[in-house]
Amino acid sequence: MRSPNEIKSGTCRSRQGKARQLRKIDTAKLSFFQQFLPIPWSLWPSESRLLITLIAFWSLAGLLILGSASWWVASREMGDGAYYLKRQIIWMGASWSLFFLVISSNLRSWLKNAGQGFWVGLILILTTLMFGRTVNGASRWLVIGALQIQPSELIKPFVILQAANIFANWNRLCTDQKLLWLSSFGILLLLILKQPNLSTAGLIGILIWLIALASGVKFFSLSITALGGLLLGLTSILINDYQRMRIVSFLNPWEDPQGNGYQLVQSLLAIGSGGFFGEGYGLSTQKLQYLPIQSTDFIYAVFAEEFGFVGSVMLLLFLMFIAFLGFRVSLKCNSNQTRLIAIGCTTVLVGQAIMHVAVASGVMPTTGLPLPLVSYGGNSLISSLMIAGLLVRSSLESTGLIGGRRDRNTLRH
């Protein structure tokens, strides 16, 4: 039986062997795909390889689900059943390009520019309140030519990065810096609530709170903050009539099934119609203009009707496995900042998906929250794949083969 010292020595020799193998690589002989990635696929940690494989599967499955959910409505309204699917594929290509850019870039550069990205996002959210396009009583979009920009989606990766920046160094920051960034996070949440967008504000608030908790901030201070956030959310519900009506209809949607409870009732009918094994791919009936916004906020209901209880359980198990991999990556990270980034990315990807499922199944009040990598929309795709890229990059840097002083230039030496 090998002693602990022998095991440790063997591990060190293994890492040194990988490092030597990296130094011997001739980049001129690498394929384009290998040159674009930080290290060759064979040297990726198992978590990274699993994550990128699962994210690719998630993206492809999302296109199939969106194609089914949108085809009939697109045929009726646009004259082309593949209208939404074609646009989503274009956005998917752009988003995957950003994904590969993120995993091939050092996290230090992203952390260095996180503050600027955060401020730009904050200004754009403020701009939506003055010049944004209003849909269903909410001003969340900026229209620039043919593009619709949703800053509250695009700011999520920079919130993760800047929160990791701040809370990883919390004990070394002076009081002025702490107050500045806590106030900035608070202003962000207030502006998103003003749009109004309670679900996104709640998700970002939970994200910042969990990153602070993981960094070791005192629980008493976090408890006071959580109470303040809860009061802020209740105030928003009391001020905004449509949010208050959604809460009332959520408690008993059958009281007004043709009015305020219509969305949730149709979603529940779709999920219930799926039974145990589902109606089959493409055979949902609720998507035939019975279920509102079936391609975005309620796309899970179409999925549940077509794939049934078994498909829904498989989806939840898939999300649990993503969460397991994400937190496993965080445990292997060598720096506090990288660890907090991994926790934040996992929280957004899995947390938003679970919240979407909860809304569609009546566990949470009806609110607009897309299912990552599945719901129609370029802003959500870009944000989700950038966050996924940060998670994979965190895993790559946890090996010690890249990151720090040994970044992507390692391949050239």
Side chain identity at residue 164, one-letter code: A
The mean-pLDDT minimum among 79-83, 89-93, 289-293, 342-346 falls in 289-293
Instruction: Tell whether 8 is covered by a domain.
Output: no
pLDDT digits (tens, 9 = 90+) for 309-334: 999 999 999 999 999 999 999 999 98
Q: Of 18-22, 36-40, 162-166, which one has max mean pLDDT?
A: 162-166
Q: What is the pLDDT of residue 362?
A: 87
Contact 300, 306 (CB under 8 A): no
* Cα–Cα distance measured from residue 10 to residue 195, given in angstroms and rounded to the nearest whole number: 57
Q: Write the CB contacts of 334 (distance below 8 Å, at least 6 apart in sequence).
A: 397, 398, 400
Higher pLDDT pick, 30 / 299: 299
Instruction: Tell whether 322 is covered by a domain.
Output: yes
The mean-pLDDT minimum among 16-20, 107-111, 206-210 falls in 16-20
**Order of strands, edge to edge, in the sheet holding 133-135?**
133-135, 138-144, 147-149
Q: What value, to the nearest 5°, has the Cα angle with vertex 379 and ends 142 and 340?
A: 120
The average pLDDT across 130-158 equals 84
Instruction: Tell whether 355 is covered by a domain.
Output: yes
Instruction: Tell whether 120 is covered by a domain.
Output: yes
pLDDT digits (tens, 9 = 90+) for 246-268: 777 777 888 888 877 888 999 99
Q: DSSP string of 225-260?
A: HHHHHHHHHHHHHHH-HHHHHHHHHHH-GGGSTTTT
* Cα–Cα distance measured from residue 277 to residue 28, given in angstroms and rounded to the nearest whole number: 51
The helix/strand/coil state of 197 is coil
Instruction: Tell whether 385 is covered by a domain.
Output: yes
Higher pLDDT pick, 111 / 21: 111
Tokens of 196: 């109004």
Domain that holds residue 226: 41-412
Instruction: Tell whether 6 is covered by a domain.
Output: no
| Closest listed residue to residue 41, CA positions, set 57, 53, 54, 29 | 53
Q: What is the pLDDT of residue 283?
A: 93
The number of domains in the chain is 1
Q: Write the CB contacts of 105 (distance below 8 Å, at least 6 apart in sequence).
A: 393, 408
